[in-house]
Amino acid sequence: MTNLTNNKAVLSWIDEMTAITKPDKIVWITGEEEQLDALREQAVKEGILIKLNPDKLPGCYLHRTDPDDVARVEDRTFICCEKEEDAGPTNHWVEPKEMYERMYALADGAYKGRTMYIIPYSMSIIGSPFAKYGFELTDSIYVVLNMHIMTRIGKAVCDALGDDEGFIKGLHCQCNLDKDNKYIVHFPQDNTIISMNSNYGGNVLQGKKCFALRIASNLGRQEGWMAEHMLILGIQNPRGEIKYISAAFPSACGKTNLAMLIPPEGLQRWGWRVWCVGDDIAWLRVGKDGRLWAVNPENGFFGVAPGTSMKSNPNALISTHKDTIFTNVALDLSDNTVWWEGLNKTPPARAIDWRGRPWTPQSPEKAAHPNSRFTAPARNCPCLSPEFDNPEGVPISAIVFGGRRAKTAPLVYQSFNWQHGVFIGSIMASETTAAATGRVGVVRRDPMAMLPFCGYHMGDYWQHWLDMGKKIPKPPKIFNVNWFRTDEDGNFAWPGFGDNMRVLQWIISRADDEIGAAETALGYEPNTHDIDMEGLEMSMYDMRRLLSVDRELWLQECEDAREYYEKIGKVPPELYEELDALEMRLNRGYKVKHE
């Protein structure tokens, strides 16, 4: 097939990778539907995909991965920069030359008898000021078809890149899926990603966490922008005005639910609604108007299936009803559709489980893998923002951090300023649940929800946040939320889900300086009557408790944060200043009466 580009740097690199991997055939992915349809047919014929019921799930397919290849693997993920200290204590590091030798030894002849697919892809809208272009070489049709959903692919990418040598290089070899030789490796100085011996999405759809966060976070530091593990959400008020927020949450904290939130009926009647710009990743740049602007660099959703239902997240479920690839869910034999735990209360009488074995409701194991996934086009989402394809992005009024804390963090508070907000993000944490570990309340720090995804030293990352604050003439205000506060009986004290809209209303009002607040040791909190409680079975007393600050717990939190900073090292002095100031406010017995 004719090359899609004349870019000498691209072609030279492809020749080099071809000489190592030795494919029988090379196919450039054009992005044309005719080519993609032929690949889908081939995947079904080869047993890579199972075509689902065309009447109920048009254009949808099921895929099963190797049972040992079902999730991201942090211990096999490496940042190979020149100096180990630049990777920092939160990343695995190997010297680049040594790692290249190891990778190329595994890749040697890995495509013999196979096809090399060359995927030109764009993160963000092609031609956007935010856009970055890459090429992923793969021997997996599954990767090609998923990258088509998750990114913008094809000839238009090559045309936009032209002769520019600043593209991201990506090599993926399935090899024999040897779990002892599985690697997801990033070389920031070369803008190169290599995935070996995996075919699970998060490891091999290189546009996702590999490029959009690990490589892009490093590019952002060099070029003066930010790549963040954040959803982007538009909040429309009854006057039709839309304000945008970006928000970072560790896993199991309701990120996708918030990205596609449906407001309570009462608020909907008033004219409140939510628009989803992105559910996972935000790239942020300072705009000409001095505000921070964001795009979602992805083009689809790579969501966790179990627990997704018409009750928990109808917009996400509706997004999967056409042109979606399901991975490691169950096949319902009654109508050739899919099923997973939490989809509904009526499991299929007969199914094939995620491993390909017969399954019934009496089977001892789960039908779907707990990390089973759907790859769905963003265009399917009923609440997709009209600004989704705007190459300039959307202006951000507020940045929100959150975690799962039973007693410590109040429902919501606002930072005093940008530097204080960076401090709040740097000590972000969630407590484990019994289901996760058997130990309840173990605090796991996950700064800005970027712990597994930051492509360089976490201390340098915090410094970049502080530096960015000085470059944004009109910075967004920074908030912290906690939907998971519990009462004495261990029950959630806040209803969550759609009712989180009530907190977002206060956040937007504060971002626009439309409403007052109470100053506490932590930051600014709502006055009790400023959260809309109409239709909630809650008293003002309940709300006051949700907003209360336990001094002893927070002094312990400060101690824990100080220990964490010592482990990270290279912590900017401004963050120690904020920590000292918080301790001082707590020790002064900062008592505030919420009006």
Q: Which residues are marked as active site?
A: 253
CA 137 to chain centre: 23
* 3-class DSSP assignment, residue 518: strand
CA 327/CA 355 separation, integer angstroms:
11
278, β-bridge pairs:
232
Cα–Cα nearest to 509, from 273, 255, 291, 243: 243
Q: What is the 3-state secondary structure (H, E, C) of 73-142?
A: CHHHEEECCCCHHHHCCCCECCCHHHHHHHHHHHHCCCCCCCEEEEEEEEECCCCCCCCEEEEEEECCHH
* 3-class DSSP assignment, residue 238: coil
Handedness of CA 47, 50, 54, 55 (dihedral sign): positive
* 3-class DSSP assignment, residue 390: coil
CA 331/CA 99 separation, integer angstroms:
40
Q: What is the 3-state secondary structure (H, E, C) of 246-312?
A: EEECCCCCCHHHHHCCCCCHHHHHHCCEEEEEECCCEEEEECCCCEEEEECCCCEEEEECCCCCCCC
Strands 231-236 and 242-248: antiparallel
CA neighbours closer than 13 Å in the CB half-sphere of residue 257: 19
CB 565 within 8 A of CB 579: yes
DSSP alpha helix (H) spans, 346-477:
418-426, 434-437, 458-471
* 3-class DSSP assignment, residue 434: helix
For residue 459 the two structure tokens come to 């201390």
Q: Output helix, strand, coil percentages for the chain, rounded to the nearest 5.
A: 35, 20, 45
Cα–Cα nearest to 334, from 354, 349, 319: 349
